[in-house]
Structure 1
Amino acid sequence: MTALRFQFQDVLNEVSSFNELARKYIAPASLEVLPRFYQALENYRNMPTKEAIDWKIADSCPLCTIPAKEYEPGGGGHRAIVGEITCIWRIKREPLKKTTQPAKHFSLIGNASTRVRLKYPATDSEPAQEVAMWRMEVADGKAPGCYFHVQILGQSDELPFPKSIPVPRLPSIILTPLAVAEFVLAELFQDAWGKHTAALVPHLQRWAPIQRERLKRLLYWKLKELEQTSGSPWSALKAAKPDPALFI
């Protein structure tokens, strides 16, 4: 089974840089979510254990954006919405020979899912109302569909997209929880986020190289899979499983 490997420090840098880069777009009540997310991973890196953990942003305390109408350029959205991001990654650290030293790598074992909910904010007369939900996932080695994919709804028996029919699994190039979070901000704040990340703002110089290198490796892997097949290109990509060291 493919078990993707990551460097602890790369992922910790990803969390900390995004926390600062996106700070003004995060709801005040959510400002401690990413620092806690960071601390959980750092604690696990330093812990002398061989046990796996669920590294997560819990449903009870999601990462929430400020309200946005810029999902249409120029702020032309019909009604303000907020984004809520939760995730769960089942990970296992790779201990060094000297078990008292912090681990350098961890493996992703089993499914990894980041869920995005879009909601109308609560008012004095109405609770918050969910208007959309999708999950950006990294599959385990046995799952059908693209290894990196998106699923819409699919967590209840209700139509449309009931969990009994887990399609479509839409191909994706976005995999980590923080990359998903940037995707959400870029969608909700079409003008502002583009301008923000086009400038030399603080912490972009830490965030951008991590994302650039990961995307380059992912796209190059997909290109090699296409070049090596003489059959259906889509079937080849659908069945492809990356080397565990793709991002190391």
Structure 2
Amino acid sequence: MISGFLRLAMISLLCGSTLTACGEKTPKGQVLAVVNGNEVTRRDLSGEAGAAGAGEDAAPAVLSGVIDRKLAAAEAQRLELDKTPQFTAQANRLQEVMLSRTLFDRWANEMPQPSKQAISAYIRANPQQFDNRKLFLVDRISTEAGAISKEELLPLQTNDDVSAALTEQKRSFQRAKTVVDSATLQPALFRQMNSIAPGYPLAITQNGELVILAVLEARDAPLPANQREAAAIASARKAFVQQKLSALRKSAKITYQPGFRPT
């Protein structure tokens, strides 16, 4: 007969040799895994898969990534990396981004459904998104606002000239070829890009930067008829959200350090 002490020792040994023995339950239902006592649920996996654009067949791989992240996050907290200024700034930024997106989604859903007449009027007013949509291959130079004056830009005939002028003045800039979808442009800018001579620089200010675009090629890409109504409604929602955001800005008290007021 096995003594009581020996039996207890054998049970303890078995408990240490298997994850699910002796009180450790196998995750089931909504709980897919348990990582050092922290549950990973189907909702966690669904949100992760949606963010990654992964299908159901990738669930094990996505779950493995979630587990790795939880382990790494726990180790970072053990090392108190979550108390550094850099982490605090990034965490605050991420929270603001998530809150802003949630607010924008709510505003968009609050917009009344536009009428057929309103949709037709929008399509007529924005041909660059529909019948006249184009894809522009452009040579794009971006630099800080004020890096080069309007008077200095006027005689320059190509982006090579612009690049040479910025280099001579020791101004930092980025240059790359990229594709611009006319659906993302305002009608006035679309008309300029559509009529300007190939390779001739067009200067605009954008998000506090000076951007010089030289159109190299343009290809017609009209939006299919069966996609136009949805695209018009999506654009209307974006405009509605922008109006709400503009109203917030107008009602806010904002002061700037000299030199940092947006143009």
Fold shared per TM-score above 0.5: no
TM-score by length of 1: 0.23
TM-score by length of 2: 0.22
Q: Which has the higher contact order (CA 8 A, sep 6+)?
A: 1
Structure having the higher Rg: 2
Which structure: greater strand fraction?
1
Which structure: greater helix fraction?
2
